[in-house]
A = this chain, B = another copy of it.
Amino acid sequence: MARALQAGLAREGYVVDVHHDGGAGLDAALGGDYDLILLDLMLPVLSGYEVVRRLRAAEVWTPVLMLTAKDGEYDEADALDEGADDYLTKPFSLVVLVARIRALLRRGAVPRPAVMSSGVVTLDPGTRRVLRDGEEVEVTTREFALLAYLIRNAGRVVSKSELYEHVWESHDASGDLNVVEVYVGYLRRKLGREVIETVRGAGYRVAGR
């Protein structure tokens, strides 16, 4: 199901990271800079409730849309009281999901300082725009996805295989990683050499905020 959602949302132009248990999801949500979190209620390691509670306790206010198969009204009320922003009961259609996501994004995040990297590059997932010193830079879909991932993980060194797995959606990370280098090259040409730093033997890094 996660895979189906990722594919569907990607078709709508969203950039999606997937994690398969509550612990991993929580770590990502605490660390990364996301516009929205889709959270299943029934998860290994940590339940959806628990993830929201800890997020809010850590003063992370990213909008959370809870997904679940339960449909008792008290579960719903509970989820919202824990700090989730909306709630959707399985099964649901992609249409409804996307509409809810838009509604949440619209009010949750004030024209979010999108995401920033070394101060000069800004990225706006809604309009799919990339700005360099305020100037719009045209990027392709793949370049956008790669840049989004790097910026979301700004400050951290991201390995080529991690990039390959997430940006190229390859489930066995055994492909030719040269394609990552090629695309980093494209981005550097468009955005300036200094935006993406190479960490020899480890991967790439863009400056954190």
Contact = CB atoms under 8 A, between A and B. Distances in A.
Nearest to A103: B80
Interface size class on chain A is 35 or more
Contacts of A77: 95-96, 98-99
B200 A165 contact: no
A178 interface: no
B165 A95 contact: yes
A100 to B, nearest CB: 6
Contacts of A100: 80
Given A77-B99, A94-B173, A95-B173, A201 B107 contact: no
A117 interface: no
A174 to B, nearest CB: 11
A162 interface: yes
A122 interface: no
Contacts of A96: 73, 76-77
Nearest to A13: B202
Contact of A11 (B13, B85, B92, B159): B159
Given A141-B201, A155-B127, A200-B141, A107 B106 contact: no
A107 B126 contact: no
A95 to B, nearest CB: 5
Contact of A12 (B74, B85, B108, B161): B161
A21 interface: no
Interface string A27-40: 00000000000000
A208 interface: yes
Nearest to A92: B73
A13 to B, nearest CB: 5
Contacts of A112: 106-107
7 contacts: A11-B161, A63-B107, A77-B98, A80-B102, A81-B99, A107-B112, A127-B157
